[in-house]
Structure 1
Amino acid sequence: MLKKIVITGGDGRFAQILKKDDKKLNILYPDKKELNILNINSINKYLKKNKPKYLIHAAALSRPMNIHDKQISKSIDLNIIGTANIVKVCSNLKIKLIYFSTGYVYEGKIGNYKEKDPVFPVNNYAWSKLGGECAVTMYKNSLILRIIMCEKPFLHEYAFHDINTNFMFHEEVVKIIPKILDKTGILNVGGEIQSVYSFAMKTKKNVKKKSGKKIFPKNVSMNVGKLKKIMKW
């Protein structure tokens, strides 16, 4: 029998892609009403009722990026306090926790960052995700995934030609999930290092070039050697 998994943010972008291809997994997809990460009682009630072995914490406030500057309280509530609440309940109920963080927690100046390299977030969104990481790290039966992912095909009209990263499509991350459920610690998750423009061109040939220097550091790429060993790529 497949071990039960709960994913927070069950109505979110990634969860909907996962839902299309989860035949190898036994996953529950609660929405915000069923499992409210800002309400400890809601989390407790849902997890005690469903008794999962794993919880994937994907619920978060992400786009637009400037919302984390304009609505700091909302960012803190959803990405830091909500995550801390999830950690509290998972640790009490002894549920394995897998947390979706971001590769933007690294400084972004030299690129090819390994999991043990120092972190220095590039924006408020990344700070909020690092705040979540702090709580998750306190619970040893956990895995932090520093992910750079996006929708397929590439959504935006423009792509940065002078910013290097490790973008990976949601569909590719879905294939990784079954292989990492029992891992712990921190794991960089991404594709090959390339410019955002090069990545975008693979699925959107008419994407336009744009400079991202005023928005991001030039190289926020991660070293994914650890992931490659797990996946046997």
Structure 2
Amino acid sequence: MRVLVAGAQGQVGHELMRAVPVGFEIIGLGSRELNLADSQQVMKRVAEIAPGAIINAAAYTAVDRAESESAAAYAVNRDGVALLADQAERAGIPLFHISTDYVFAGNGISPYKESDPVAPVGVYGASKLAGEQALFERCSRALVLRTSWVFGAHGQNFVRTMLRLGRERDELAVVADQRGGPTPAAGIAGALWQLVQLYRDKGELQWGCYHFSGGPACSWYEFAEEIFRQALELGLIERSPRLRAIVSSEYPTPARRPLWSVLDCSKLNAEFGIQQPDWRTELRSVLQEWRDET
């Protein structure tokens, strides 16, 4: 089966490209080769490639900048998804799409289920929710995988930022009142490939929205603690900075962040047997990869 991966140069796209299962031909395109804001390019590329399935790992992810660039965010996260959905429906193929915990208000007290009410508090989350809605309206074979706090060996993320700042400073202030599930990009890629393989083998899936994130739930502060503990153990840093726990109001940003981003991933496991990854184990794999590159 030939699979088109949109957003092949991002964190998840990179992992999708290097974890292709046997029996698949993968065509990975970055934003230059497949700009989801360019309707003519999208239609032309999909027609030329004629894939048997599409994985959309492309998105406008600049959360803070989206507050002042809403048109750009919606052009990719809503309109671009709608374009892909139209092409997938026309070709009779499935579209697998990555979404986000930001579709929720972040005021929960228990892990969010797929059926829980959505209420994004910023432009980024609203544009991603609009993309989900456009996808389900246009494509009968659509699967949305919502995730959170993505990190990996490729690209910019919280882990890389922490290590860079930790080498530069003696003390770091880290938000401790936001809770979520750090999710390895490699784990997301693995889950998506499992789903695509199931579709190839069965010819059908239980389409819809599913949650996939790492466990156990933690705060950014606790995530940072584990990053530095493992990095020190692996010799990536010579010393660990002092960490100071702060609340979100002490670190104001243009976009509000959900205080609660914990996702209930039981539906994905029950339907497909895909288990929630332990982010601590996956973090070690990322850090070991960086160590081995030096």
TM-score normalised according to structure 1 size: 0.88
Aligned residue identity for 2:209? I
Q: What are the within-5 Å matches in structure 2 for residues 1-233 of structure 1? A: 3-24=1-22, 25-63=24-62, 65-110=63-108, 111-138=110-137, 139-152=139-152, 154-157=159-162, 159-181=174-196, 182=199, 183=205, 184-192=207-215, 193-205=217-229, 206=240, 208=243, 209-212=245-248, 215-229=256-270, 230-231=272-273, 233=275
Greater per-residue helix proportion:
2
Q: Which runs of 5+ in 2 are unaligned?
A: 154-158, 163-172, 200-204, 230-239, 276-294
- Cα offset for 1:129? 0.3
CA contact (8 A) 2:132 2:144 kept: yes
Q: Quick one: distance in 1 between partners of 2:9 and 2:67? A: 25
Listed one character per residue, the Cα deviations across residues 66-101 of structure 1 (whole Å, up to 9, x for unaligned) are 111111111121211111111111111112001111
Residue range with higher mean Cα deviation, 178-187 or 114-123:
178-187
Distance in 1 between residues matched to 2:20 and 2:47, nearest whole Å: 23
One-letter amino acid matched to 1:189: F
AA paired with 2:101?
Answer: G
Cα displacement string for residues 183-206 of structure 1 (whole angstroms, at most 9, x for unaligned residues): 410001101222222234333334
Letter in 2 for 1:116: S
What is the rounded CA distance, in whole Å, between the counterparts of 1:60 and 1:217 in structure 2? 19
Post-superposition shift, 1:125?
0.6
Distance 1:176 1:159, change over 3 A: farther
- TM-score (normalised: structure 2): 0.71
Distance 2:184 2:116 in 1: 24
In the TM superposition, residue 121 of structure 1 has moved relative to its aligned partner by 0.7
Q: Check conservation: 1:40, 1:89, Cα contact below 8 A.
A: no
Identity fraction in percent = 22
Q: CA deviation at 1:135?
A: 0.5
Superimposed CA distance per residue, residues 106-143 of structure 1 (whole angstroms, 9 cap, x where no aligned partner): 12112411001110013211001011011011122100
The change in CA–CA distance for 1:35 and 1:218 in structure 2 (over 3 A counts) is: closer
- Structure-2 separation of matches of 1:107 and 1:33: 33
User: Match of 1:14, as an amino acid?
Assistant: V
Structure 1 unaligned regions, length at least 5: none
User: How far apart are the structure 1 equivalents of 2:72 and 2:274?
Assistant: 40
Q: Do the aligned residues in 1 keep the contact of 2:11 with 2:152 (CA within 8 Å)?
A: no
- Alpha-carbon contact 1:107-1:121 (below 8 Å) kept: yes
In the TM superposition, residue 21 of structure 1 has moved relative to its aligned partner by 2.3
Of the structure 1 ranges 104-113 and 13-22, higher mean CA displacement relative to structure 2 is found in 13-22
**Secondary structure, in 3 states, of the residue corresponding to 2:114?**
coil
Deviates more, 1:86-95 or 1:123-132: 86-95
RMSD after superposition: 2.1
Aligned-partner SS, 1:176: helix
